Amino acid sequence: MAALVMMCPLVIPAAGVARAARPAEQTAEWGSIQRLMVPSPQLNDTIAIDVLLPEGYTPENQYPVIYMHDGQNLYDAATTWNHQAWEIDRACRRLVKDEGLQPVIVVGIHSDPARRVAQLMPQKAVERTDLASLLSEVKLKGEPILGDQYASFVVNTLKPLIDSTYSTLSDPAHTAVMGSSMGGLMSLYLICEYPEVFGAAGCLSTHWYGSLPIEKEFGGAMIDYVQNNLPDPSTHRLYFDHGTTTIDAYYGPWETRALLAAQERGYRYGINLDSFIDYGAPHEESAWAGRVDRPLRFIIMSQREKR
């Protein structure tokens, strides 16, 4: 099938919701991409959403769904700021055609560079002592943390729209969330805050230290949050990875602590937990494209087992 960009009717913003500029259209080498412009009352903005439908998609079948952050970087390197992309469409093609795994729908949520850190910040994890105000001063330049508003948009606005528009398996066993860097943090936050919605989280190059000047405080807050909020391991799965160069070189000790916390909670390798160290890999989309088959396989196989 030729690469397609399928155009959907725009979702019209409600009164009082800002209209975002329409980002460049992405194309897929496998499946088709539909662009939605979704109003978010939580963020007072209109969010671009790029939905990858698998090749052969038909409403007669039902499909698991993976929600991914930084949707503008998922499919088409020709449209990205650094000419790199996750190439999720190609990864899905490999897993479906070469390994016989179940096709999935991927929902790519675009991020606004000006508010990305604020929106992907795990809000409850940092709203203690002076950490939130320090983050606002150092990293967010006085802007408020918007992590809870972003999470509410995904769960209460976007997911109902996706489930009503496409033929989805909407239960948590077939609904996952995945992202990198700050998107790794938000993926972990979403499965902790909404365990009744998400059954799996893929966290790549998770940005454990949040902001270099407050590395220990932020990392400690995240580990405390993980220890106290991980969902039931009998119904959830977690994936973590990181590289070893550029800023990924700083993640190892924090990720080790998070993995230990997960195991103390009852998560077990080979059952509901997986992790990977990509030696020599930097913090960029080409590195995530090089290993994304692993978390996708982990998530899709777990979803297939639930059917």
Question: What digits encode the pLDDT tens for the residues 40-90?
Answer: 999 999 999 999 999 999 999 999 999 999 999 999 888 888 888 989 999
CATH number, residue 278:
3.40.50.1820
**d(Cα 49, Cα 224) in Å, to the nearest integer?**
32
pLDDT number for residue 6: 45
Going from the C-alpha of 169 to that of each of 45, 84, 104, the distances in angstroms are 28, 31, 10
Whether 9 shows a pLDDT value over 60: the answer reads no
Alpha helices in the chain (DSSP H): 88-97, 116-120, 123-126, 131-138, 147-152, 159-165, 182-193, 215-229, 252-265, 285-291, 293-306
Residue with tokens 């489930």: 163
CA gap 294, 7 in Å, rounded: 30
- How many domains does one find in the chain? 1
d(CA 244, CA 83): 22
Domain extent at residue 264: 4-306
CB under 8 Å to 21, separation ≥6 — which residues?
Answer: none
pTM of the model: 0.91
CA 82-7-76 angle, 5° bins: 20
What does the H/E/C string look like for 63-78? ECEEEEECHHHCCCHH
Q: What digits encode the pLDDT tens for the residues 26-44? A: 989 999 999 999 999 999 9
